[in-house]
């Protein structure tokens, strides 16, 4: 048994998220070592791990479970081997910074994922991605511990990655090993700039949001929308496009609004409540269902008390 007395737990702590809304954590801890993290699991085996808060909505009542942030040096270490292309990054490392660093060091594989705010661990759990690739494409191994504190290293082949899903959310990711490819940094930098420009052009990057709010749905039946070629059954369609065509841009509930720039971004203004975002999500789902017969599933993770 590990002693819990060295853990520094803060009570009634804010949970920083990119939405800038939502409730607090009854208990919050930033473990400074793997042993510390195991102690946290002894305190609360149901603990919740906070990544960068970039894809997270915390309900206004906050949460009762211990919230753990891995933003301590022990979980932010990055080791890059330029020759082999092997990169080991702690779960708390900043993912966009890691992308810039690998590009600078002439390693290809992650550059298409620029513009996705995340911690390495959060990006792994979500299989973060977009039009230019997904996290799983560059993964070699994922280091995890289970809820009993037992460590394991999972090979890429044993991880059931799917669109925006890793199948690892019951575990705690502690580090990720990437397999990147040595390449000329010049073209990689150009690619990075192109991807960033595409996003700046099409997304409200300066506003408070959690990026895309809904997953892009796979169609159960062909879909025809005015002015566009028919989408076939089984195609994955942009949720933003559907929300836009359903006339939802600019819809508001309290301080939450559907972005005029990209329909899948729900933005918040100062004073907004998490409830505003949740109600707006429901309204958007209802309108898209009525308009296109498609049920949108949230991509954003919602934390609620006792749920």
Residues 6+ apart with CB under 8 A from 17: 53, 54, 56, 57, 58, 210
Closest alpha carbon to 125 in 92, 148, 151, 103 = 92
8 A C-beta contact, residue 39 and residue 6: yes
Is 211 an interacting residue with respect to ligand EPU (CB under 6 A)? yes
For residue 103, the minimal CB distance to ligand EPU (Å) is 17
Q: How many residues bind ligand EPU (CB under 6 A)?
A: 18
Q: Greatest CA span in the chain, whole angstroms? A: 65
| Beta carbons of 196 and 114 less than 8 angstroms apart | yes
Q: Applying CB under 6 A, which part among 96-104, 148-156, 207-215, 272-280 lies near ligand EPU?
A: 207-215
Q: Is 188 in the site for ligand EPU (CB under 6 A)?
A: no
257 interacts with ligand EPU by CB under 6 A: no
Q: Based on the shown chain and the rule CB under 6 A, indicate whether residue 244 belongs to the binding site for ligand EPU.
A: yes
262 binds ligand EPU (CB under 6 A): yes
Per CB under 6 A, 212 contacts ligand EPU: yes
Residue 131 interacts with ligand EPU (CB under 6 A)? yes
User: By CB under 6 A, which span of 72-80, 128-136, 139-147, 173-181 interacts with ligand EPU?
Assistant: 128-136
Answer yes or no whether residue 165 interacts with ligand EPU by CB under 6 A: no
Nearer to ligand EPU, 69 or 264 (CB): 264
Residue closer to ligand EPU (CB basis): 31 or 211? 211
72-111: contacts with ligand EPU (CB under 6 A):
none
**CB-based contacts of 128, cutoff 8 Å, min separation 6:** 55, 95, 113, 116, 118, 122, 134, 135, 164
Q: How many separate helices (H) and strands (E) can be counted in the chain?
A: 6, 18
Would you tell me which residues interact with ligand EPU (CB under 6 A)? 130-132, 199, 202, 211-212, 215-216, 238-241, 244, 262-264, 299
């Amino acid at each position: 048994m590990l002693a819990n007395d060295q853990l520094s737990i803060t009570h009634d702590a804010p949970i920083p998220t990119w939405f800038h809304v939502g409730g607090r954590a009854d208990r919050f801890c930033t473990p400074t070592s793997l042993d510390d993290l195991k102690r946290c699991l002894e305190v609360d085996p149901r603990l919740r791990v906070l990544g960068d808060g970039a894809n997270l909505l915390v309900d206004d009542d906050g949460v009762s479970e211990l919230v753990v942030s891995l933003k301590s040096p022990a979980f932010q270490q990055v080791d890059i081997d330029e020759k082999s292309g092997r990169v080991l990054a702690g779960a708390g490392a900043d993912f966009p910074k890691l992308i810039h660093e690998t590009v600078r060091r002439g390693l290809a594989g992650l550059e298409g994922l620029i513009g996705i705010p995340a911690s390495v661990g959060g990006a792994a759990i979500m299989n973060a991605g977009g039009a230019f690739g997904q996290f799983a494409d560059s993964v070699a191994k994922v280091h995890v511990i289970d809820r009993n504190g037992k460590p394991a290293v999972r090979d890429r082949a044993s991880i059931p990655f799917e669109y925006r899903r890793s199948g690892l959310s019951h575990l705690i990711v502690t580090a990720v090993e990437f397999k990147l490819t040595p390449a000329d940094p010049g073209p990689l930098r150009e690619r990075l700039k192109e991807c960033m420009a595409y996003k700046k052009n099409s997304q409200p990057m300066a506003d408070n949001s959690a990026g895309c709010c809904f997953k892009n749905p796979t169609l159960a039946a062909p879909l025809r929308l005015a002015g566009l070629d028919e989408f076939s059954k089984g195609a994955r369609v942009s949720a933003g496009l559907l929300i836009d065509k359903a006339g939802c841009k600019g819809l508001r509930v309290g301080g939450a609004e559907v972005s005029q720039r990209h329909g899948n971004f729900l933005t918040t203004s100062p004073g907004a409540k998490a409830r505003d975002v949740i109600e707006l999500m429901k309204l958007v789902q209802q309108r898209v269902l009525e308009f296109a017969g498609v049920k949108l599933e949230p991509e954003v993770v919602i934390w609620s008390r006792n749920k």
